[in-house]
Structure 1
């Protein structure tokens, strides 16, 4: 049923809804071997032309997971969200296999707690995460925003007026705001890592890292 050669360092993606499909296609573009599986024949047929390895199989059944060699995969992603029961059962089956590192999609806090308790290594909340990210983008001059679990973020942003026309040493952003300018992208030029002598112009984009609250404060400067 599956191609066992995909296992070992590959990723097993269970569920080809919007989350699972986007994940599988992005992983393949990044050069990762992926085996995607879903119970819906129409989805399997649709993605058979877009993904290298797709199978129609029911991951709530341990036999189906064994047939596709699920235990050989380094990582398994449970992207099933329409049925909480199926999500929990699939995750439990993967836990019983004992091998893959399990990433599971949750549609609520309660769902996430259940997945964690039965043994999922990572629980993700795609809608909540996307909502938080977009809120940061909508709410200021941020162009891109990535937040990590410990409240640390990296952002792309337009420079506040007080930094324009000065070197990073002169504007002393780190001392004033507790954030670090990692790099600067000038129009028509390649990204460059920032140094104290880097001059900031009104047309530049800054790559800034630091604690989320401090970045928010800095990004809201006029």
Structure 2
């Protein structure tokens, strides 16, 4: 008899819309056992051959989730977006079931706040976060942008003129611009960690850390 995968190796995605379905497929690609659940049979049919198991069920029904073993899992994603009531009720139910890690999708900051209040351990706003990220990419010299919190980001940017032919100690970036260069990449070479003696040259790519306004302003320097 085949051994059932451990709960930590399985994950349930509740809601197989655009966000949940895409996430479920990526989790499968990374080697997870994925249980996909949606109230719409059409969504379940779409993903039935891609996931470990796909089922039609009401995610606000405790008995249905128990029958599918969701209460036994360590990680559950609530990918429901447009039906806010179902999203909140499902998240609250997972909290009552004692799921250790609940990640939920929100469609607004107010929705996100409520999800956290009812027990979501991590909340994402995909459309908002992508819009914000793209805005940074198109309004400056930033090549990539990752926000970890409201006041901390990492950005990939070409070295501004103010840093060229100077060491990081000489540039005094933290005191002058409020940013820290954590890594550098020269053309044709891999990224390396920086030190105070690291010298920056034209064409270098920098990984910059700091608060969003400071990083944006630094990256936009000519």
With normalisation by structure 1, the TM-score equals: 0.87
CA change 1:4–1:17 in 2 (3 A) is farther
Q: Give the equivalent residue in structure 2 for 1:14.
A: 14
More divergent stretch after superposition (163-172 vs 96-105): 163-172
Native 8 Å contact 1:4 1:69 kept in 2? no
Deviation for aligned residue 1:97: 0.7
SS at match of 2:36: strand
SS at match of 1:59: coil
Cα RMSD after superposing both structures? 2.2
Give the whole-Å Cα distance in 1 for the aligned partners of 2:57 and 2:187: 50
CA change 1:74–1:204 in 2 (3 A) is same
What is the count of residue pairs matched by the alignment?
220
SS at match of 1:5: coil
Q: Give the equivalent residue in structure 2 for 1:121.
A: 121
Give the whole-Å Cα distance in 2 for the aligned partners of 1:197 and 1:91: 50
Deviation for aligned residue 1:205: 0.9
Deviation for aligned residue 1:188: 1.7
Q: Give the equivalent residue in structure 2 for 1:27.
A: 27
SS at match of 1:148: strand
Give the whole-Å Cα distance in 2 for the aligned partners of 1:81 and 1:6: 29
Give the whole-Å Cα distance in 1 for the aligned partners of 2:157 and 2:57: 45
SS at match of 1:77: strand
With normalisation by structure 2, the TM-score equals: 0.87
Give the whole-Å Cα distance in 1 for the aligned partners of 2:108 and 2:178: 34
